[in-house]
Each structure stands twice: as C-alpha cells, then as structure tokens.
Amino acid sequence: MSQVVLKDLFARDAPLREQLNKEATNLQKVVLSERQFCDLELILNGGFSPLEGFMTQEDYQSVVHNLRLKSGAVFPIPVTLDVSEKLAESIKVSDRVALLDPRDEQTVLAILTVEDQYVPDKVVEAEKVFGANDRAHPAVEYLFGTADNVYLGGKLQAVNPIRHFDFVAYRYTPSELRSEFERNNWKRVVAFQTRNPMHRAHRELTVRAAKQHSARVLIHPVVGMTKPGDIDHFTRVRVYEAILQRYPKGSAKLSLLPLAMRMAGPREALWHAIIRKNYGASHFIIGRDHAGPGKNSQGQDFYGPYDAQYLVEQYSHEIGINIVPFQMMTYLPDEDIYKPVDQVEAGTRTLNISGTELRRRLLVGAHIPEWFSYPQVVSILRQSYPPKFSQGFVLVVPATADKLVPSALVSALNEDGRRHVSFVPHLDATTFTFAQELQRAGAAVVVSLTEADKSIQIPANWVQVNIGHDESVSEVTFTVLSKLSDEGYL
C-alpha cells in the first residue's frame, strides 16, 4: 500500500514566520473566498497531501481528465484559486501574493508564488468532475455563478496559523490526529464521513464496521462548506458530542474536518478517502450515494447509489486505505436491532424514517421515536430547529420591487406587534446565516434582494413576495399581512 508523505506546511514554514510576515506587508493582497479559505487550510495542514499549493494548469488538466496530478499521484478534485479578470491583470507569473483571511480581510495566512495563470474550460470541468453541466448540481452552480474566471496556480508558504473559535478541542490537524492515534496505540482506525446529524443507524453502522476490522472509530464530520440547506455545523457537532457517549469507552474519537465539499459523488468519495488517509485512518466507510447532491434538472439522481464504492475500490490499494462498503441500515422492530438492508430476509418487518420525514417532524413538532434517534440528539435538533409555530419567517423582496416595499413591510409588521422584526438590506454569506438564525429565534425578517444577490439560492421555507404589475406599495403590504396566521406566522 502507498505510504503518504504528509505535507505539513505549517510545520515546515514555522521558522520563517517573522520573515514572511515582514515580506507580506509589501505584497499584493488577495482576500480569500469561503471555499478558498477551507481549501487553503487543508493544503497548509497536509489534509490535501501531496498538494503544496493551488493547482497549475498542467495539474488541473490532469486531474480533470485523469483523476491524477501530473506526478501520477491520484487526486480526483481540482483545487484552484479563482480570481477576477481585473485582479488577474495586475498579477504576473513569478509574482508573490499574500492571501488574506476572509473573516477580517487583514490576517496574512499564506504567500502564493504564482507559477501559472490560466482560464479554465468550465463546461469541461463540470462534465468531467461533476458528471454533467447541470446547474441543479450545487458545485456546477457555484462554478458558473460564484467562481471567478481566471485560475492562479503555484506553491504556498504558510505565514500565520488559521485560528478557529468554536469547538477548538476537536479541530485536529493531520499531524496532531496521527500523533493521538500513535499515543493511544490505535493501529487500525475506521473513519466515518458525514455532513448530517448522526442517529442510531449511524452509530450501529460504525460500531459494526469497527468490529469487523478490529478497529477504533474516527467520527470525522465536515464543518466547512456542505450542501446548501444542510443543518449548521454548530448543531451537528453538539449532536456528535452526544452520540459519542453511546460508544464503548475508548472506542471512538471525534475530529472536525474544515472541508469545502463539492458533492461530486464518486470523485468526492475518492477525495475523502485520500484525506482520511492523510489524517491517519487505515479504513474508510463509504455508504450509499456517498456525497451525492440529489436530483438533476430532469429529476434523476446525479450518480448511482453505489458508484462511489465502485470507483474508490479501484484505487484503494494505490492510495493506501481500506474501503469499508456499507449498504443502508434499516430497523427491525421485532428484534429491536439495525441491519444492513442486504442482510434482511424477505418478509421481515422493517421501519425507516427518511431525512425528508425527519425534517417534517421537526417542522411540525411531531414525535420522533427512540428507535430512530436518541432523546439527547432529538432535544438538540429541536432546540436548533423548533417547530414552525415557534419560528419566525423570512420575507424576500425581489430586486425589481419598489424601493419602499421593504420599509413598508417592516413598519407594518412592527405595527402588528406579534414578532420582533429585523431588516436585511442585502444577502451575502454572513447576512444569509443571520437571517436564518433570526427566523429560528422567532423573528420576522424582511430581506431586500439586490441585483448582486441573484446567484444566492433562496431556501424553500423563505417566503418570496410576489408583486403584481400594477400593485401599489400599500396593496403589497396589505396582501402580505392578510396571510398571517393567528399565531403571527406565514
């Protein structure tokens, strides 16, 4: 099996930190996007080994077409630094550029030595990497709707450490996690990838996998960017903390992965396996429809349910990690146990609750049985996602509306008095999350879209204000308020 050489750039460049900080004061600055910030962290800490920077055109083309770097190493997902044409015009090959933390737009995290500047064929990237040029795929929508059109490639030097302020105890780097495994004599570790809350079926699946391979369990959830509409990572980590107590003592560990997912199905699963190998795992669980984004624009699944398993098994020996394929777990009420569906005899009574049904039960406050999830987990989910009658609502005013409409709605809702009212003048990653949190807290939120907000996907539970051609501001306001229920929600 392959022996991965961990590229820990933080450790490598630590002695140069003072020198690099001084140099960075005179360099051109680039503020990273949220995705680039996630990618940078995993390049610098070694999670994306053998990468030492953002991909040059030669590496990019090889990855897109062959799932390999130009060196021949398996790597299935392009990791690129996209910039605008205007910014690219001010940067030339051999320049050194300081990359800034997007949270404060000041802290220099790394210096990029620009080796390459190129314009990708995004249609080819979409078709090869994601399987279709279909904007129903969140990564394709990001590629065309958010990502800029010029890619910069080159090696990185780490300057300042990336600081996090939530769940710090669980944010292990690959080097730190490998050391933990060695210190505790964990020679065989089964890693479990998730972007969702864990319930009884997930606990049973991971325990079963660990027993089969005489291994310990690494719960390794993604806390970077996941699929739009997913449950926030703060809630999920509290769930993981609760479910960790359900494992035999000393058999499981929780570590958080700051990954920006692409939802690329089979390719993403192979990428996840490489990352887990870098973090020290010996085995990796791949379940049904691993990292699948759901339905395409024709209503069909983007990928087959077990395509990810088939692809990763082809490369498992080369990348140096054992694949643990698992089918969906189902509950057998007559025996009070979970089993993989392929091991259930025909005619056996089974029970399941889908993700859609779980969200419905949370929304209406319906019962969630203990056979499906643990009471502590359900309590955490209900706290973060109270039923609709306890929540507020978000009104979305289109960019084409009369500019007085948002102000009129805020005034009218304040007069109504049954909800605290907040106004969001435009949407970006921060205000989007702010609006969601206000809604969960019971507020009425009025969001005024601008032309620049067109690429943002509006959640299904937000109410878009439909305005007729001849409707006045007063008529629009009256129409909206007339739809309020007795409890004061839409």
Q: 197 exposed, middle or buried (CB, 10 Å; 0-12, 13-18, 19+)?
A: buried
- The Cα 376–Cα 219 span in angstroms is 18
> Residue 194, annotated ligand binder?
yes
> Residue 96, annotated ligand binder?
no
- DSSP, res 303: S
Catalytic residues: 194-196
> Residue 195, annotated ligand binder?
yes
Quickly list H helices, 324-399: 355-364, 375-384
Residue with tokens 């080994």: 49
Task: List residues bridging with 388 in a β-sheet.
Answer: none
CA proximity to 184, closest of 196, 192, 176:
176
> Residue 334, annotated ligand binder?
no
> Residue 329, annotated ligand binder?
yes
- The Cα 332–Cα 450 span in angstroms is 51
> Residue 416, annotated ligand binder?
no
> Residue 55, annotated ligand binder?
no
β strands within 287-436, DSSP E: 322-325, 329-332, 337-340, 393-397, 421-424
CA proximity to 61, closest of 143, 129, 159:
129
Quickly list H helices, 187-285: 200-212, 233-244, 265-278
CA of residue 322 relative to chain centroid, distance: 24
> Residue 1, annotated ligand binder?
no
Residue with tokens 């129903």: 136
> Residue 287, annotated ligand binder?
yes
- Positive or negative, the Cα torsion across 374, 380, 381, 382? positive
- DSSP, res 436: H
Q: 353 exposed, middle or buried (CB, 10 Å; 0-12, 13-18, 19+)?
A: middle
DSSP code per residue over 101-137: -TTTS--EEEEEE--EEE---HHHHHHHHSSS--TTS
Q: Give yes or no for a contact between 192 and 228, defined as CB atoms under 8 angstroms apart.
A: no
- The Cα 150–Cα 148 span in angstroms is 6
- The Cα 198–Cα 201 span in angstroms is 8
- DSSP, res 213: T
Strand-pair category, 96-100 with 108-113: antiparallel
β strands within 384-483, DSSP E: 393-397, 421-424, 444-448, 463-464
Residue list for the binding site for ATP? 193-196, 287-290, 329
Residue list for the binding site? 193-196, 287-291, 329
